[in-house]
Amino acid sequence: MRETIKRLEATRAFRLKQEIPRLTMAERTNLLEGYHPDFRTEGVCQVRIGPNKGERMQKELTDLLEASGRLDPGRVDLTRVDFDVDVLVIGGGGAGVTTALLAHENGSRVLLATKLRLGDSNTIMAEGGIAAATQANDSLNLHFLDTMGGGLFQNKRDLVRALIEDAPLIVEWLKDLGAMFDTHPNGDLVVSFAGGHCRRRVHSCKDLSGLEFMRVLRDEFYNKGIEVLEFSPAIELMLDENGRCAGAVLLNLETNELLLVRAKAVVLATGGIGRLHPNKYPTTNHYGATADGLVLAYRAGAPLLHMDAIQYHPTGAAWPEQMLGQLITEALRGNGAQLVNKDGERFINELETRDVTSSAVIREVRERKKGIKTPTGMEGVWLDVALIDIRGGAGKLDRMFAGIVHRFKEYGIDVHKEPLLVFPTQHYQNGGVEIGPDGQTSIPGLYAAGEVAGGVQGRNRLGGNSLVDIFVFGRRAGKAAAEYAKRTELPTSLNLEHVRKYQQELAEAGIRQGLRSPLLLPDYTRPEIKKHTAACGA
Ligand SMILES: Cc1cc2nc3c(=O)[nH]c(=O)nc-3n(C[C@H](O)[C@H](O)[C@H](O)COP(=O)(O)OP(=O)(O)OC[C@H]3O[C@@H](n4cnc5c(N)ncnc54)[C@H](O)[C@@H]3O)c2cc1C
């Protein structure tokens, strides 16, 4: 590894002046089809039952959609209701807390139920920042076009329009809540590039943006006195006799008790899929990202969109091994860091979209054999981070990337001097539950917001566009759910008939694979330990 660092240092002066043109549309397509994991046929399969029957989806997700539920519908006493509320929000990340705030503001009695603690989520881990066209040289049209292009023009246009138009207001809203954005000495907001954006439009709070946003959201949530149930994941939705969503069954993870929440409206905000490890990739995601919301909505009859399109972030940590798959933010490349192979050469414009950049890294390592090998056999390419201080002046890395500097220092790596070894890591689910501009799904009374929802990002999300997505659609869904609740009575009857029917469909299709879903938490027990535990009868 040391030898390749010497080569990287030797080419720095040349690389600082080197311009690498963006790829043409045909070159991008070739790269994606040749190397992107979405195009590996063994990674996807046809789902055999449910609203998307016959469509291709990620294999690991398909397994969960074709699994049995955790409940036997016949054994749940649906008359013993524990909570009656106007709006039940499921999920305690950025989308869920935003939804709860807006539903509360619009007059609803709200209960938020979440799997872990409030804030344990992908949101709190977000690094680079939030995209919005706030600058004089930018426009809503440019942000719209970039987002559509990044999504391979498969995004739903009305959702993208909502995203882009609301984005500048979201930055103001977060500022009003007290979020401390990076600013220049004159007070103007700092904005950075991210892949696929033609303007600088990513607003950051160092490389700890999600932590800062979650801090102010949680403060606001607690100040409003909104009710929350922690360690209480939803394990099934309930419907009423008219097929409207009428609440959810929660599982208390500490006592194993079931809790029944009857609600006029339900909002799913359960986040992504990373801990299913699509295509066996490591992930940047938190432990609760196990696709639960997709399973619940699908079983209740809501179609999913683009669930064969997964985002692999180009710069996951490949060394040290303890950090495998952790995110190394794109904002580093947005501020001048370069991707370099073992011969000290760049091989792609670093501001190509993530799908394209990841494919280029995979090609460099797997086909061109220009990767750098770690002592334990992992391979990756270098991210030359020291260029940020060289270009921007000493202190820029410390000022803008305190998180990265600190995390690597823990392992004795000084990012001011040494490059970071990177390889793609699973990062985001591009698709999700199909929604309209107010987060409404095909099931009356059921809404979805944030990463669990599909259609906004098309087949590939641009950097910074998820944080804005969760706030835009969290606010819209919260308001719409509260308005729906005002014109709706509490359901008089609750049922799990859809679960029974789904079970029947599974049986008729001859599917019996022994899995139960939602998964709730990933199982990392090594096979030899499982065998040992089974042998001990534990
Ligand atoms: C490391 C990292 C860095 C990122 N950086 C950026 C960035 O800089 N800019 C950007 O735009 N995007 C970024 N993203 C993506 C973005 O942060 C996420 O897509 C977004 O925050 C998702 O928000 P969410 O509220 O939809 O889901 P989450 O924030 O993941 O919240 C989901 C919540 O639902 C809960 N939950 C799950 N299942 C259940 C259940 N069955 N019942 C009840 N609760 C449940 C979870 O515990 C969690 O609290 C990053 C993602 C990661 C992982």
Residue 277 is among the residues annotated as catalytic for this protein: no
Beta strands in 119-206 (DSSP E): 130-131, 191-192, 202-203
Backbone angles phi, psi at 86, to 5 degrees: -75, -50
Q: If pLDDT is split at 50, 70 and 90, which confidence band does 537 have?
A: low
Question: Model-level pTM?
Answer: 0.97
Ligand 1 atom nearest to CA at 288 = 47
Res 337: pLDDT: 97
Residue 71 alpha carbon to ligand 1 centre in Å: 26
Q: How many other β-carbons are positioned within 10 Å of the β-carbon of residue 109?
A: 17
Which pLDDT band holds residue 397 (cuts at 50, 70, 90)? very high
pLDDT (tens digit per residue) in 3-37: 999 999 999 999 999 999 999 999 999 999 999 99
Closest by alpha carbon to 96, among 249, 213, 209, 205? 213
Does 320 have pLDDT greater than 90?
A: yes
427 is catalytic: no
pLDDT score of 79 more than 90: yes
Of 36, 201, 262, 313, catalytic = 313
- Interval 317-344 mean pLDDT: 96
C-alpha of residue 289 to centroid of ligand 1, in Å: 7
How many Å apart are CA 81 and CA 480, to the nearest integer? 25
Q: What is the pLDDT of residue 527?
A: 79
Nearest CA to ligand 1 atom 49: 92
Number of alpha carbons in the 13 Å side-chain half-sphere of residue 22? 9
Residue nearest to atom 31 of ligand 1 (CA): 93
Question: Residue 538: pLDDT band by 50, 70, 90 thresholds?
Answer: low
Q: Report which protein residue has its CA nearest ligand 1's atom 48.
A: 121
Task: Determine which one of 70, 333, 427, 461 is catalytic.
Answer: 333
Q: In this model, does residue 353 exceed pLDDT 70?
A: yes
Residue 243: is its pLDDT beyond 70?
yes
Q: How far is the C-alpha of 283 from the C-alpha of 275, rounded, in Å?
A: 7
pLDDT tens profile 412-467: 999 999 999 999 999 999 999 999 999 999 999 999 999 999 999 999 999 999 99
